[in-house]
């Protein structure tokens, strides 16, 4: 069967189970878009900016568990994807990005809308390809999806020259992918896990530390089973939220720069730290040589390059989080845990005391407090909404006050911290999880970076809700200026902001606003019940700050509190 490159691309997408593409057309991919007109099994969502396409594919991947796919044209279309690709790379999100390219004969000649997108994205993709021959296209696409979803997931870019898209060749589905230099280790070394179990049995003050790897491998049930069986409290990174139920008695909350007092203290006082699917980034560790100073440290991760990278580890375990935790639970089942509650009681009571004496807290006033908005949202949704966030204070308040139940329900740009992420990611999540309530928690600064994607939500009748915590500032930078720069608010106060209610209406969405605390619940209830895209504008305390806060370069024990 002879097919054009554009047709081969669509056939291979079908083979990989792809039914959703986020994209934006242009000259170099016009033939792919023409072929899409005949395709009935793949739905294309037209975004309003290519960055929006990548964030939407990211949100879709997290909410659905599938590989996210986006399609853009060459030149500026390709370069506009870089922020979204970098965000997905740092958060280990499986995505395949197809970019158009000028014909192969023009590559290197500074042709119209030519950029070396393979070179540009080499540092922020798991792998990338420039397809030079249509005969290699099917195999390349199969490899791209295999690499994106296997091992430690990540984005893979495939650059498609226009002549390759139009060329014709015999098509057959490639066989199984076998790459000599790429063989992720899924099954952990049992002897290493036995060492971990010995440490668990001996430990007086253990802590389980969950990261994004737990969520990505859907290892939340195995983690919960281990925690309950061994009576070990659990904390997590920002990316790990949802890997352990946020209302469980053993839950410590998030740790790190804006972590809970009890989580940071537990890490600082523990004698055993079992880190699962984490990379120990600087926002978590604070001053590295004072991080978990008295603990034996276990690190379980599928990526061997992440182990020992930032923190010295006593017992390294290379393997898939789900498989590793399942094996640990099998080993735990062979132990006698009689009396474990008595053994852990002093440690859990110490943690409970930290929780009672220094809880997450804020002081309610006549103006709306952003924490109150998040708490009310949680109460009204029962914790069942998928939460996407922008980046900044809104992101941290969401992490602190919305108690996430399961993986894929907290979607945020963790490693890169890309402002403008939340709205397109929420759109992708809504496509990936139809019927589920999806809420983007935003700041008035971050939301304006990709506000145009509201048109995408309206066009495709996606009932995404946007909760704007409108404080008139770039809040997180303002907080640092307040604390460390004597309130010199250099370029962080908005002299003019749009009327978000009118803006929503201009796009064909619904706009609502609350200015007083007593209006919060009603506005949220009205917005959540509306079967259309909604922007809810909450005018909040301008100089409210996120606490606890660990200043840069100090131990996570040295928290600034309310």
Task: Mark whether 405 and 527 lie in a shared domain.
Answer: yes
In a domain? residue 36 = yes
Whether 533 and 448 map to the same domain: the answer is yes
How far, in Å, CA of 174 to CA of 176, rounded?
7
Is the residue at 273 inside a domain?
yes
Q: Would strands 68-72 and 20-24 be described as parallel, antiparallel, or unpaired?
A: parallel
pLDDT reported for residue 1:
86
**Within-domain flag for 522:** yes
- Spot the catalytic one: 4, 11, 162, 322: 162
Q: Which of 394, 396, 460, 399 is nearest to 424 (CA)?
A: 460
345 and 268 together in one domain: yes
Domain identity same for 476 and 433: yes
Q: Which of 90, 95, 239, 476 is catalytic?
A: 476
Domain range for 151 is 2-170
pTM: 0.97
Q: Mean pLDDT, to the nearest integer, of 302-326?
A: 97
Closest CA to 142 of 99, 174, 95: 174
Let me know if residue 551 belongs to a domain. Answer: no
Nearest of 399, 475, 211 to residue 321 by alpha carbon: 211
State mean pLDDT over 411-430: 98
CATH number of the domain where residue 511 is located: 3.40.50.970
Q: Quick check: is 560 in a domain?
A: no
pLDDT at residue 497 in the model: 87
In a shared domain, residues 221 and 109: no
Say what the pLDDT of residue 90 is: 98
Taking Cα atoms as reference points, which of 291, 196, 273 lies closest to residue 232? 273
Length of the chain: 562
Q: Mean pLDDT across the stretch 379-388?
A: 97
Candidate list 16, 50, 143, 327, residue with the active-site label = 50
Domain boundary among the residues 123, 139, 170 is at 170
What value does the mean pLDDT of the chain take?
A: 97
Q: Are residues 212 and 280 in the same domain?
A: yes
CB 63, CB 432: distance < 8 Å? yes
Question: Residue 459 catalytic?
Answer: no
Condensed to tens digits (0 to 9), the pLDDT of residues 69-123 reads: 999 999 999 999 999 999 999 999 999 999 999 999 999 999 999 999 999 999 9
Question: Which residue(s) pair with 70 in the sheet?
Answer: 22, 97
**Under a CB-based contact definition with an 8 Å cutoff, are residues 405 and 387 in contact?**
no
Residues 9, 77: one domain?
Answer: yes
Distance between CA 382 and CA 441 in Å, rounded? 16
Parallel, antiparallel or unpaired: strands 43-46 and 234-236: unpaired
Residues 316, 381 within the same domain? no
Answer yes or no: is pLDDT of 58 > 90.
yes
**pLDDT tens digits, 497-522:** 899 999 999 999 999 999 999 999 99
Closest CA to 61 of 386, 312, 450, 288: 386
Residue 559 a catalytic site member: no
Do 103 and 160 fall within a single domain? yes
Phi-psi region of 367 (alpha: psi -120 to 50; beta: other; left: phi over 0): beta
Tokens of 136: 């290699």
Assign 348 a pLDDT band (cuts: 50, 70, 90): very high
- Cis ω before 236 (30° cut-off from 0): no
Would 561 be classed as within a structural domain? no
Q: What is the pLDDT at residue 364?
A: 83
Instruction: Please pick, among 112, 341, 493, 525, the residue that the annotation labels catalytic.
Output: 112
When pLDDT is averaged across residues 313-320 and rounded to a whole number, the result is 98
pLDDT per residue as tens digits for the range 32-54: 999 999 999 999 999 999 999 99
Mean pLDDT of the region 463-488: 97
Taking each continuous run of H as one helix and of E as one strand, the counts in the chain are 22, 20
Same domain flag for 279 and 425? no
Distance, in Å, from the CA atom of 462 to the CA atom of 459, rounded to the nearest integer, reads 8
Query: Average pLDDT in the 209-223 region?
Result: 97
Q: What pLDDT is recorded for position 115?
A: 98
- Mean pLDDT to the nearest integer, 370-380: 98
CATH number of the domain enclosing 219: 3.40.50.1220
| Residues above pLDDT 70, as percent of the chain | 100
| Tally of domains within the chain | 3
Q: What is the mean pLDDT of residues 449-459?
A: 98
Is residue 164 assigned to a domain? Answer: yes
- Please indicate, yes or no, whether residues 275 and 398 belong to a single structural domain of this protein: no
Considering the candidates 14, 15, 39, 113, report the single residue annotated as catalytic: 113
Q: Tell me whether residue 176 is in a domain.
A: no
One domain, residues 203 and 314: yes
The SS3 call for residue 192 is helix
Q: Is residue 209 annotated as a catalytic residue, yes or no?
A: no
């Amino acid at each position: 069967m002879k097919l054009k490159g554009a047709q081969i691309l669509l056939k291979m997408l079908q083979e990989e189970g792809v039914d959703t593409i986020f994209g934006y057309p242009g000259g170099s991919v016009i033939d792919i878009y023409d072929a899409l007109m005949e395709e009935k099994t793949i739905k294309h969502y037209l975004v309003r900016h290519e960055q929006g396409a990548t964030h939407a594919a990211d949100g879709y991947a997290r909410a659905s568990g599938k590989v996210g796919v986006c399609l853009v044209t060459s030149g500026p279309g390709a370069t506009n994807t870089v922020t979204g690709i970098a965000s997905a790379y740092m958060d280990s999100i499986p995505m395949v990005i197809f970019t158009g390219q000028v014909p192969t004969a023009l590559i290197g000649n500074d042709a119209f809308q030519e950029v070396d997108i393979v070179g540009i994205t080499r540092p922020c993709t798991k792998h990338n390809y420039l397809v030079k021959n249509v005969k290699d296209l099917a195999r390349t696409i199969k490899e791209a999806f295999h690499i994106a979803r296997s091992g430690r997931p990540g984005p893979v870019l495939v650059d498609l020259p226009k002549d390759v898209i139009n060329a014709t060749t015999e098509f057959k589905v490639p066989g199984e992918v076998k790459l000599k230099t790429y063989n992720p280790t899924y099954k952990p070394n049992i002897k290493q896990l036995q060492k971990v179990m010995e440490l668990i049995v001996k430990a007086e003050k253990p802590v389980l530390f969950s990261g994004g790897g737990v969520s990505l491998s859907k290892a939340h049930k195995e983690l919960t089973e281990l925690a309950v069986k061994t009576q070990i409290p659990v904390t997590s990174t920002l990316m790990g939220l949802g890997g352990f139920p946020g209302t469980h008695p053993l839950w410590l909350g998030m740790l790190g720069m804006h972590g809970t007092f009890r989580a940071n203290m537990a890490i600082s006082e523990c004698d055993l730290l079992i880190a699962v699917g984490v990379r120990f980034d600087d926002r978590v560790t604070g001053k590295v040589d004072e991080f978990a100073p008295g603990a034996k440290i276990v690190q379980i991760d599928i990526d061997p390059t992440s182990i020992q990278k930032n923190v010295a580890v006593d017992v390294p375990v290379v393997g898939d989080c789900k498989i590793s935790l399942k094996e640990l639970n099998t080993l735990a089942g062979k132990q006698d845990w009689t009396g474990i509650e008595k053994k852990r009681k002093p440690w859990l009571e110490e943690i409970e005391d930290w929780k009672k004496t220094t809880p997450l807290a804020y002081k309610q006033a006549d103006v709306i407090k952003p924490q109150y908005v998040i708490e009310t949202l949680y109460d009204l949704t029962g914790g069942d909404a998928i939460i996407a966030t922008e980046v900044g204070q809104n992101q941290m308040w969401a992490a602190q006050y919305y108690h996430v139940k399961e993986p894929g329900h907290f979607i945020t740009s963790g490693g890169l911290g890309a402002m403008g992420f939340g709205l397109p990611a929420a759109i992708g999540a809504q496509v990936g999880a139809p019927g589920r309530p999806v809420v983007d928690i935003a700041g008035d600064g971050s939301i304006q970076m990709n506000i145009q994607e509201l048109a995408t939500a309206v066009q495709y009748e996606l009932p995404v809700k946007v909760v704007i915590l409108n404080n008139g500032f770039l809040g997180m930078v303002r907080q640092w200026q307040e604390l460390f720069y004597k309130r010199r608010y250099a370029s962080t106060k908005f002299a003019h902001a749009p009327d978000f209610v009118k803006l929503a209406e201009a796009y064909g969405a619904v706009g609502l606003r609350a200015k007083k605390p007593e209006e919060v619940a009603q506005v949220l209830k009205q917005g959540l019940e509306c079967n259309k895209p909604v922007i809810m504008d909450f005018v909040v305390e301008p100089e409210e700050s996120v606490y606890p806060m660990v200043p840069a370069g100090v131990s996570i024990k040295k928290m600034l509190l309310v």
